[in-house]
């Protein structure tokens, strides 16, 4: 091939691309950096090409069991028993290190904590590291505001360091708390805190059957960490103020042991939850509680299982949280929840279940809880959704086919057959189960400070999703199942493909989007109410404006009622769990069951509303003469003043009967009344014409005239002098 053959547009393009030859275009054309980079892309001779650093994610070593089970992967999920619906006659108690509850009551973490207490059906929640100085918080951020509409009738006891209030802000590391819902709150007889005011522990004391008491406590054991605001140094300064220079960890161990000994001497059964910050199987706390006759309830029940870590940065599979109980208390179930399933924290939640007969010393009936209805019949859209879901559920599980079959059988066979009755009872039971399940998931109860609307909820879900992904990317243990549930909610299918840097960016964007959305929360709430008003108006056939006005008025009254109840301190009413009855001899009896309490109420009502049973009119001979309704001839004699009581009648009763005689009224003409009326009541002169017309009609025995006179008397019964009242009455008695 000659030089002349290597000419033409095709060869020129080839020469430019590979920098071959000495063509005219090559010698004069200036190649840009972008073009050169594009030309040299993929060539091994490119010495200036920047090589991407291969970032290899550090692989975590995983532990497998002899059966091939991935222990490391399962450590982030539930351990031991799975938390299901709480059985009847059972107390459910849980413990969690909250890792600082936000000072703002509207924060999602605070809301999620309250929601979990309700959804998990917890009777008692023991909290460590609450992290709040409650005395520095504003009124709208107090605990009572956080639980409004969620935990009615509950009781909370918190303890924090109160020795440095002048130098402490809203956030204060450490602190503990106990939240008792209705079942336990109504049985509390006393509460208490750390006597040194350092917030190291707090407790509640509940009473069951006569003489049976249980003390439930929670404590936090600090670890020696640097920083003036840490729990360790807070307690060191607080102890030094009283001349106590012990190590705070040793001081907690000794003081808590003394307190437990006092509780045992008082005859209490002990349940105590603690974040020990050390292995609860082999540490000093384990030795302390074993010496006091306490045992770790969950590990004792599941001795055959190896427990995972209860803190997500612990890579040695050491549980540092535990719930210890007295030797006489046995649990029916217990375990660890998955990381992130309860309140967002670096600690997982521990829980146990105890039978009523053990916790209260008796098998008392469960107290009925007052909960808001999730199915609102005032919302036609909700009713339509409920009906569609019920029909679908009945169709899917074969309920409708079984119902139609039973209906045909009743038309041809006898209804008294046992098989048909059994089928009917089963259908009725299935119907209640289906409807209860649909109602339970028909809507969420949103009762927070920010007005809720369907448009706002996705912003909150997105924040929670990216927070969980961030914890997973940092190597913390988090439930993957929960992450996938939120991915479906938010429609962010690629959430798990993002690295830590991308997750931080997405989380920041989600928080900014939520903050921006809250500014429109009120408008979105009004839009939601307008759509609800339109649906109600269409259903009822009324005006949309009137329905919207009614909804706005209801919300206004709800806010006002909450403010009034908060000021009065009566946000919830508890149930009656025991009654004290005093016998005739002065003996005080405790009634703790429904049957005994009902008998005590009946006895009290009988004595309260039968106080006249021992009076003279209810005894012989007056009760025979006058009767219970005073409808006898003797009763008429009492009014006439001619009744002569028996000699053995009480003297004061005789005087009372004498005063009950009817007073004698002089019979006068209406003209005299008219003259008296003019002098006594000038206002009645304006009614002279009306009264004259009544008289003219009444003289003719007109029924309408009597009605007009009677209405005239009723009209002025309370606003005219007694003389006019007697005037109208006298006319009716004389002429009718």
DSSP structure string for 468-485: HHHHHHTT----HHHHHH
Residue 655, class by beta-carbon neighbours within 10 Å (0-12 exposed, 13-18 middle, 19+ buried)? exposed
Indicate whether 119 and 238 sit together in one domain. yes
User: Which tokens hold the place of 253?
Assistant: 């161990």
In a domain? residue 593: no
Indicate whether 142 and 283 sit together in one domain. yes
Low-confidence ranges of the chain (pLDDT < 50): 2, 6, 22-27, 44, 49, 54-58, 672-688, 694-706, 709-710, 713, 716-721, 723-725, 727, 731-736
pLDDT in tens, 424-453: 888 888 998 999 888 888 877 665 567 778
In a domain? residue 706: yes
In a domain? residue 575: no
Query: Residue 410: what pLDDT?
Result: 76
Query: Residue 220: what pLDDT?
Result: 96
Helix (H, G, I), strand (E, B) or coil at 623: helix
Indicate whether 676 and 652 sit together in one domain. no
Query: Residue 331: what pLDDT?
Result: 94
Query: Residue 182: what pLDDT?
Result: 79
Indicate whether 325 and 406 sit together in one domain. no
In a domain? residue 623: yes
b/e map 55-81, b = 16+ CB within 10 Å: eeeeeeeeeeeeeeeeeeeebbbbbbb
Chain center to CA of 707: 58
Indicate whether 197 and 105 sit together in one domain. yes
In a domain? residue 433: yes
Number of domains in the chain: 5
In a domain? residue 498: no
Note whether 551 and 533 are within 8 A (CB): yes
Indicate whether 192 and 320 sit together in one domain. yes
How many whole angstroms separate alpha carbon 621 and alpha carbon 477? 87
Indicate whether 687 and 646 sit together in one domain. no
Indicate whether 678 and 627 sit together in one domain. no
Query: Residue 138: what pLDDT?
Result: 86
pLDDT in tens, 698-715: 444 444 444 554 455 455
Query: Residue 579: what pLDDT?
Result: 82
Indicate whether 136 and 206 sit together in one domain. yes
Contacts of 183 (CB under 8 A, 6+ apart): 91, 123, 366, 367, 369
- The domain of 190 spans 79-359
In a domain? residue 207: yes
End-to-end Cα, the chain, rounded Å: 144
Q: Which of 390, 423, 440 is at the close of a domain?
A: 440
State the chain's mean pLDDT as an integer: 80
Peptide bond before 370: cis, by omega within 30 degrees of 0? no
Say if strands 579-582 and 588-591 run parallel, antiparallel, or are unpaired: antiparallel
Indicate whether 645 and 674 sit together in one domain. no
Query: Residue 724: what pLDDT?
Result: 45
In a domain? residue 641: yes
> How many alpha carbons fall within 13 Å on the CB side of residue 718?
0
Indicate whether 194 and 292 sit together in one domain. yes
Indicate whether 28 and 172 sit together in one domain. no
């Amino acid at each position: 091939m000659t030089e002349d053959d290597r000419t033409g547009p095709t060869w020129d393009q080839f020469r430019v691309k590979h920098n071959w030859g000495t063509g005219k275009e090559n010698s004069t054309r200036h190649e840009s950096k972008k073009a050169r980079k594009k030309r040299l892309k993929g060539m091994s001779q490119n010495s200036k090409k920047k090589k991407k650093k291969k970032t290899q994610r550090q692989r975590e070593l995983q532990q497998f069991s002899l059966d091939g089970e991935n222990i490391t992967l399962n450590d982030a999920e539930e351990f031991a028993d799975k938390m299901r619906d709480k059985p009847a006659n059972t107390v459910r108690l849980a413990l969690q290190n909250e890792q600082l509850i936000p000072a703002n009551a509207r924060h999602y973490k605070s809301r999620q904590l309250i929601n979990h207490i309700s959804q998990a059906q917890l009777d008692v929640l023991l909290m460590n590291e609450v992290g709040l100085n409650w005395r520095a918080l504003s009124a709208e951020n107090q605990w009572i505001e956080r639980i409004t509409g969620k935990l009615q009738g509950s009781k909370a006891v918190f303890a924090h360091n109160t020795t440095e209030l002048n130098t402490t802000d809203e956030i204060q590391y450490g602190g503990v708390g106990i939240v008792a819902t209705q079942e336990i709150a109504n049985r509390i007889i006393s509460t208490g805190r750390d006597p040194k005011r350092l917030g190291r522990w707090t407790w509640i004391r509940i009473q069951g059957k006569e003489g049976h008491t249980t003390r439930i406590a929670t404590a936090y054991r600090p670890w020696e960490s640097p920083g003036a605001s840490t729990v360790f140094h807070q307690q060191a300064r607080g102890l030094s103020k009283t001349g106590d220079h012990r190590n705070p960890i040793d001081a907690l161990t000794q003081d808590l042991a003394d307190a437990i000994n006092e509780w045992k001497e008082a005859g209490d059964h002990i349940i105590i939850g603690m974040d020990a910050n050390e292995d609860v199987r082999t540490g000093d706390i384990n030795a302390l509680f074993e010496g006091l006759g306490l045992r770790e309830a969950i590990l004792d029940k599941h001795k055959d299982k190896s427990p995972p870590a209860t803190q997500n940065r612990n890579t040695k599979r050491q549980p540092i949280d535990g719930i210890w109980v007295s030797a006489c208390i046995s649990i029916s179930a217990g375990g660890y929840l998955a990381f992130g399933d309860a309140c967002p924290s670096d600690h997982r939640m521990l829980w146990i279940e105890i039978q009523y007969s053990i916790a209260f010393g008796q098998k008392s009936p469960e107290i009925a809880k007052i909960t808001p209805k999730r199915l609102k019949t005032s919302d036609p859209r909700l009713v339509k959704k409920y009906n569609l879901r019920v029909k679908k559920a009945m169709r899917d599980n074969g309920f409708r086919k079984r119902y139609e079959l039973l209906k045909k059988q009743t038309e041809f066979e006898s209804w008294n057959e046992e098989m048909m009755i059994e089928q009917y009872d089963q259908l009725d039971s299935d119907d209640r189960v289906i409807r209860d399940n649909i109602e339970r998931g028909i809507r969420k109860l949103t009762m927070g400070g920010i007005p809720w609307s369907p448009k706002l909820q996705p912003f909150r879900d997105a924040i929670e999703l990216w927070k969980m992904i961030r914890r997973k990317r940092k190597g913390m243990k988090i439930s993957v199942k929960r992450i996938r549930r939120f991915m479906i909610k938010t429609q962010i299918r690629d959430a798990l493909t993002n690295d830590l840097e991308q997750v931080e960016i997405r989380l920041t964007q989600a928080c900014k989007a939520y903050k921006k959305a809250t500014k429109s929360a009120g408008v979105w709430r009004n839009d939601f109410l307008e759509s609800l008003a339109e649906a109600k108006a269409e259903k009822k056939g009324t005006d949309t404006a009137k329905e919207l006005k009614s909804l706005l008025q209801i919300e206004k009254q709800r806010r006002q009622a909450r403010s009034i109840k908060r000021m009065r301190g009566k946000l919830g009413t508890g149930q009656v769990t025991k009654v004290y009855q005093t016998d005739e001899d002065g003996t005080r009896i405790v009634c703790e069951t429904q049957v005994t309490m009902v008998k005590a109420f009946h006895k009290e009502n009988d004595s309260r509303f039968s106080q006249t049973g021992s009076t003279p009119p209810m005894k012989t001979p007056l009760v025979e003469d006058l009767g219970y309704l005073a409808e006898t001839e003797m009763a008429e004699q009492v009014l006439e003043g001619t009744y002569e009581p028996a000699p053995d009648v009480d003297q004061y009763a005789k005087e009372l009967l004498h005063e009950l005689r009817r007073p004698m009224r002089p019979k006068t003409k209406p003209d005299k009344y008219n003259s008296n009326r003019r002098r006594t009541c000038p206002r009645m002169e304006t009614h002279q014409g009306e009264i004259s017309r009544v008289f003219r009609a009444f003289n003719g025995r007109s029924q309408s005239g009597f009605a007009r006179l009677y209405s005239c008397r009723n009209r002025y019964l309370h606003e005219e002098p007694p003389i006019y009242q007697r005037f109208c009455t006298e006319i009716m008695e004389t002429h009718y």
